């Protein structure tokens, strides 16, 4: 590969790093990150510190004229653009790009009004994008406690910034602190949850936003990215609670005629499988007391959300058996609820 093309690739990487306002990069950091990016993109090459130093000088010359400056941070000379909006690759948006961007901004407009998302409106104004009527509406509860943290955490995750998290549990008001690498914001049952990993443990942890007391960014801390696709863990669960040591259970259920349509059109889990033909006939013989309705199976990891969802249908959904603890946990929950109602009658 010609040398000038190699330099252009490095300029592209440096352009991104120099406009980053969430991290501090000295010359060693820039060298390491550029090498990481080249390895990520399969370029099969590496550079030394002296090469990056020359690149920074060349980027300040014509035709780029990049406004690169350095400042002292924690005893280090850190490099960045004096204008964070500058890019050596700046160009006008095409009509198609403007239309697409406008639609995307309108789509995420459900965050309008939340702290730290006011930049959406400023962004639209700065680009001169025309106002459009909203055609997609998502569920959003603006009165949810700590919903203002969405913007802050979105910012830290998208810019790969470690944070110091202060939180408490439902059962204990004691405030605890943890240094944390945030990976994902997920909504479930009209509540928001933050998933990530602690410095000292690679296991994924989950925090409800309404249990978080304070978030402090740690730009000097090296961010540890998630080694896996964190979305994969939701394939085997309902909700957000994931237990790494629990197996996937095969669960057999029956749902009545009254609730069958609800379960069929909004399955409890992606593994939902209605049973038909010989399999259904065999179950009709095995459970003659269950008239009508439908038999179906699920393949899930047992957690609080799954048990609550299965019990939410009351008598219209029965968990007949499972190859783990789900069926027994549902029966226990129903039994305890029956005891509470029995106490009220005495």
Give mean pLDDT, residues 285-298: 96
Give the C-alpha separation, 110 to 99, whole Å: 19
Per-residue confidence band for 276, with pLDDT thresholds at 50, 70 and 90 = very high
Question: Which range, of 52-56, 116-120, 142-146, 199-203, averages the lowest pLDDT?
Answer: 116-120
Q: Is the pLDDT higher at 37 or at 92?
A: 37
Distance separating the N- and C-terminal Cα atoms of the chain? 85
Per-residue confidence band for 141, with pLDDT thresholds at 50, 70 and 90 = low
Token pair for 140: 């959003």
Per-residue confidence band for 232, with pLDDT thresholds at 50, 70 and 90 = confident
Question: Which tens digit of pLDDT belongs to each residue from 115-135?
Answer: 555 556 655 655 565 565 665
Give the pLDDT score at 99. Answer: 63
Q: Which residue blocks in the chain are alpha helix, DSSP H?
A: 3-18, 27-40, 49-59, 95-107, 119-127, 149-158, 257-265, 277-286, 304-311, 326-345
Give mean pLDDT, residues 77-106: 74
- Environment class of 205 (CB within 10 Å of its CB; exposed 0-12, middle 13-18, buried 19+): middle
Token pair for 252: 């057999």
Instruction: Please give the helix or strand (H or E) that residue 214 lies within, else none.
Output: strand 212-218
Give the pLDDT score at 331. Answer: 96
Q: Are 274 and 295 in contact (CB under 8 A)?
A: yes
Per-residue confidence band for 89, with pLDDT thresholds at 50, 70 and 90 = confident
Q: Report angle CA 97, 99, 104 to the nearest 5 degrees.
A: 90
Question: Which tens digit of pLDDT belongs to each residue from 236-258?
Answer: 999 999 988 899 999 999 999 99
Give the C-alpha separation, 18 to 61, whole Å: 16
High-pLDDT (> 90) share of the chain, %: 53
Q: Are 13 and 20 in contact (CB under 8 A)?
A: no
High-pLDDT (> 70) share of the chain, %: 81
The winner for highest mean pLDDT among 5-9, 199-203, 330-334 is 330-334
Residue 136 has pLDDT above 80, yes or no: no
Q: Is the pLDDT higher at 193 or at 128?
A: 193
Average pLDDT of the chain? Answer: 85
Q: Report angle CA 22, 24, 25 to the nearest 5 degrees.
A: 130
Give the pLDDT score at 67. Answer: 92
Residue 1 has pLDDT above 50, yes or no: no
Helices (H) and strands (E) in the chain, counts: 10, 11
**Count of positions (residues) in the chain:** 346
CA distances from 44 to 55, 158, 269 (A): 19, 27, 43
Strand, coil or helix: 324: coil
Give the C-alpha separation, 193 to 208, whole Å: 4
Question: Which tens digit of pLDDT belongs to each residue from 90-102?
Answer: 655 566 666 666 6
Give the C-alpha separation, 171 to 191, whole Å: 18
Give the pairing type, strands 248-255 and 201-208: unpaired
Residue 342 has pLDDT above 60, yes or no: yes
Residue 4 has pLDDT above 70, yes or no: no
Strand, coil or helix: 297: strand
Question: Which range, of 164-178, 276-290, 325-339, averages the lowest pLDDT?
Answer: 164-178
CA distances from 120 to 115, 123, 133, 143, 192 (A): 11, 5, 16, 20, 20
Question: Which range, of 54-58, 124-128, 216-220, 309-313, averages the lowest pLDDT?
Answer: 124-128
Give the pLDDT score at 21. Answer: 83
Place of tokens 């120099």: 18
């Amino acid at each position: 590969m010609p040398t000038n093309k190699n330099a252009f690739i490095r300029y592209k990487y440096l352009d991104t790093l120099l406009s980053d306002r969430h991290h501090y990069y000295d010359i060693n950091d820039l060298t390491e990150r550029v090498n990481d990016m080249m390895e990520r993109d399969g370029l099969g090459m590496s550079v030394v510190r002296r090469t990056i130093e020359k690149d920074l000088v060349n980027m300040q010359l014509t035709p780029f004229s990049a406004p690169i400056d350095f400042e002292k941070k924690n005893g280090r000379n850190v490099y960045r653009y004096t204008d964070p909006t500058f890019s050596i690759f700046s160009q006008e948006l095409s009509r198609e790009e403007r239309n697409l961007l406008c639609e995307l901004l309108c789509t995420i407009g459900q965050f309008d009004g939340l702290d730290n998302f006011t930049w959406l409106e400023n962004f639209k104004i700065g680009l001169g994008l025309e106002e459009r009527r909203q055609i997609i509406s998502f569920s959003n509860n603006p009165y949810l406690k700590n919903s203002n943290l969405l913007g802050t955490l979105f910012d830290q995750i998208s810019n790969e910034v470690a944070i110091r998290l202060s939180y408490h549990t439902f059962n204990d008001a004691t405030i605890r602190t943890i240094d944390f690498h945030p990976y994902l914001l997920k909504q479930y049952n009209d509540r928001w949850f933050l998933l990530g990993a602690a410095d000292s443990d690679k296991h994924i942890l989950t925090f409800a936003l309404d249990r978080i007391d304070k978030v402090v960014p740690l730009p000097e801390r090296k961010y540890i990215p998630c080694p896996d696709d964190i979305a994969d863990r939701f394939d085997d669960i309902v909700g957000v609670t994931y237990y790494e040591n629990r197996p996937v259970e095969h669960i057999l259920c029956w749902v009545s005629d009254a609730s069958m349509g609800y379960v069929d059109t909004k399955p409890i889990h992606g593994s939902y499988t209605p049973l038909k033909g010989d399999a259904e006939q065999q179950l009709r013989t095995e459970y003659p007391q269950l008239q009508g309705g439908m038999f179906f199976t699920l393949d899930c990891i047992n957690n609080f959300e799954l048990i609550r969802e299965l019990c939410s249908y009351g008598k219209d959904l029965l968990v007949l058996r499972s190859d783990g603890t789900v069926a027994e946990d549902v029966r226990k929950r129903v039994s305890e609820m029956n005891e509470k109602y029995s106490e009220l009658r005495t």
